Copies of this chain bind each other. A is one copy, B any other.
Amino acid sequence: MSAKSHRSADAAAGLSQQRVVLEAMRLADSEGIDGASMRKLAAALGAGAMSIYHYVASREELLDAMIDVVFTEIDPPPVDRDWQSAMRLRATSARAALARHPWAIGLMESRTTPGPANLRHREAVASCLRNAGFSIVMSAHATWLLDSYVYGFALQEASLPFETVDELSAMADAVYLPQLPQEEFPYLYESAAALGASGYDPASEFAFGLDLVLAALEPLRDSAPRGS
C-alpha cells in the first residue's frame, strides 16, 4: 500500500487534472470519443465516477481541456525559417496531431471558446505571417485559408474507411470497385481504379495541396517588408 492512498484501491494514487485529461485522451484515441465517458474514464483511473468532478467542472470542460492539449501537440511555426517552410512545418504537425486524435475534429464544431494553448498557437501563426510581410487583413485571409485546408483535410482523412495503404488497395479492389456500377459512375470508377493500382499516401496528398496554397499566397506579401 502506498503511503499516499488512504483507502481501498490506489491505482497509482493521486488524481490530478492532468492525469484525468490525459487518460481521457488515451481512451478517446483508442475507443473513440464515446469510449471516454465519465464512468469509463473513472474506472480507467481506478476511481469512482464522481471523483472526476473534483478536477473538472463538467464533461464540457473536460472536452475543452482535451482540445487544448491537442493544440499543445501542434508545433508553432519556427521563427528562424522563411515563412513558407515555417508554415509548412506547422501545418504538417497539425495534420499529424489531428490524425492522432480524430475525435478532436468533430469536437471543434460544438466548442467555441479557445483555450490558452490555442491562443498561444494562433498568436505564433499571426506573428509569423506579419513578419513575413503580410498585411493585417492578408494575414487573416491566409490563416483562414490554411486552417481551412488543414482542418478539412483532417476531417476527410478521419472519415476514410481504412488505416494503411495496403488496406486501401485491398479494399478498393475487393469492395469499392465491385460496388460502383461502372456505367453509372464512370469517372469515380476510373479514379478508384487508378488509386487502387498506384497506392495512396495521405501525407503526400496533404503536401500537394499545402504547397500549392503556400505558393499561391507568396505573391500577396507586401514587397520588401523587413526580414526574410
Residues of A within 8 A of B (CB): 32, 102-103, 105-113, 119, 122-123, 126-127, 130, 136-137, 139-141, 144-145, 147-153, 155-156, 158-161, 180, 184-188, 190-191, 194-195, 198, 205, 208-209, 212-213, 215-217
- CB-based contact A187/B130 at 8 Å: yes
The residue that A149 contacts in the complex, of B32, B145, B187, B205, with Cβ under 8 A, is B145
- Nearest residue (CB) in B for A198 is B137
Measured between alpha carbons, how far is A200 from B120 in the docked complex, in Å? 23
Given contacts A32-B110, A149-B152, 16 further A-B contacts (CB under 8 A): A102-B109, A105-B155, A126-B187, A126-B188, A126-B191, A130-B187, A136-B190, A137-B198, A141-B205, A145-B209, A148-B148, A148-B156, A151-B155, A152-B153, A152-B155, A216-B216
